[in-house]
Structure 1
Amino acid sequence: MFKPADLPDTVAVFPLPGALLLPRSRLPLHVFEPRYLAMLDDVLKTPGRLIGMVQPLEMPGGRGGDADGPALHRIGCAGRVTQFSETEDHRYLITLTGISRFRVRREVNGFHPYRRCAVSWEGFAHDLGHAEKDTALDRTAFMALLARYFAALDLSTDWETLKDADDELLINSLSMLLDFAPEDKQALLEAPRLASRRETLITLIEFALRGGAEEDVMQ
């Protein structure tokens, strides 16, 4: 388990729209762009093997950032490379395990082909602790809402696994896997605690259901 003293002041960042990583959750990634292959090669040589997942920030008019790429949201989540395999054509299949969220202080200039940021870990100490509980979670009502959402989108899932999942695994897995817009994913990331993430998740699901109902009426 990481301690605050183990966390570096600078991390390599992977700005991937719609990709959400949360503490203690796992995110599989397929790495094939040359700059990110270089990033992974460098990261694997470090003790922490940390990569910061950050959402690109789309500014009004679709512009933002500089020559290095789009501007970044201020909050991301660092993950440790816990699984990786290399294909014959030098691509990587990796898994990141979420360690802690961070705030981007500034981008660090250098000779790396990928982006790096100076970060602050303040305010996220509980990310390094044990799994959170959500004592206010009404499982029956939540699963009923989820069933309506999956039916509306014609999705299938392993309901027994969902019913048996711990609070954090259930809420975080759904937050990461469901097809929400990047800005909605950012809202789920920035939720201070598990209960507030669950409330945000419910709001997003209910909004999607209302939108689907409106589209049916219009047709």
Structure 2
Amino acid sequence: MMQPADLPETVAVFPLPGALLLPRARLPLHIFEPRYLQMLEDALKTPQRIIGMVQPAPVPSNDQALHAIGCAGRVTQFSETEDGRYLITLTGISRFRVQHEVEGFAPYRRCEISWCGFERDLGKCETDQAFDRKLFLDLLHRFFASQQLSTDWDSLTDADDELLVNSLSMLLDFDPEDKQALLEAPCLRTRRETLVTLIEFAMRGGSGEEALQ
């Protein structure tokens, strides 16, 4: 497990809309743009192998704006294709707060960041004592049916609280701002409640039905 002293004050950031990384979760990425290939190669040269995932912020007057909170991941798997692309996996370490962007000669963006306030991310898996798993899975069955989605229900049923909630938060097709709300949730319970709200909203379609009590 990575310690606070191991975390850098400056990280390369990958501003990818809709891509959500959460602590202890795994995010597969396909890297092919030259600037991000360089970012990956530079990250692999460091002991931490850290890349920060940050979503662009919807600021009409500034198409380079970033959300204030992102999540850092360690490159834990990578393979190179014959044409020079990379398939990598980032394992989430901790969220961070962007302080300011660092100017330099790198073709990719770098930010000075603060890890303060996210110490819990470096600890053990979170639990949700108020989690009614049966009620949640019932809602999930209805949602997947309404969206014509399929999944490995045995794996979902067996997953622990954090893995279940975080995996769904990352995988389900929500708007980038909804993904950001899931990222910024202060604890697993709040993230689960936010996830339920988003699922209910998608199912209602404005009708007010399918509410989870």
What letter corresponds to residue 55 of structure 2 in structure 1? Answer: Q
**Match for 1:45: what amino acid?**
K
Shift of 1:89: 1.1
Equivalent position to 1:159, from 147, 153, 176:
153
Aligned length: 208
Equivalent residue letter for 1:208: A
Deviations 1:117-143 (A, max 9, x none): 000000000100111111110011100
In the alignment, residue 93 of structure 2 is paired with which amino acid? I
Partner of 1:114: 108
- Partner of residue 91 from structure 2, selected from 71, 76, 97: 97
Match of 2:3 in 1: 3
Structure 1 residue 190: deviation in Å? 0.1
CA deviation digits over 1:139-173, x for unaligned, max 9?
Answer: 11100110111011011111111111000000000
Give me the whole-angstrom Cα distance separating, in 1, the residues matched to 2:61 and 2:71. Answer: 24
Which residue identity is paired with 1:115?
A: R
RMSD: 1.0
Residue pairs, 1:44-193, within 5 angstroms:
44-59=44-59, 62-65=60-63, 70-193=64-187
Quote the Cα distance in structure 2 between the aligned partners of 1:10 and 1:161. 37
Which residue matches 1:199? Answer: 193
For residue 5 of structure 1, what is the amino acid of its counterpart?
A
1:210 maps onto 2:208 in alignment: no
1:29 aligns with 2:29: yes
Residue type of the alignment partner of 2:84 = H
Report the Cα offset of residue 63 of structure 1: 3.8
What are the superposed Cα offsets for residues 42-79 of structure 1, whole Å, 9 maximum, x if unpaired? 000001000000000111xx4414xxxx2000000000
- Percent of residue pairs identical: 74
Per the normalisation by structure 1, the TM-score is 0.93
CA distance in 1, matches of 2:88, 2:35: 16
Letter in 2 for 1:89: D
Name the SS for the 2:205 alignment partner: helix
Q: Which amino acid aligns with 2:138?
A: A
Q: Partners of 1:155 and 1:201 in 2: how far apart?
A: 17
Letter of the 1:64 counterpart? N
CA contact (8 A) 1:152 1:212 kept: no
Structure 2 residue matching 1:55: 3-state secondary structure:
coil
SS at match of 1:97: strand
Deviation at 1:198, TM superposition (A): 0.1
Which ranges of 4 or more aligned residues in structure 1 deviate by more than 4 Å?
none
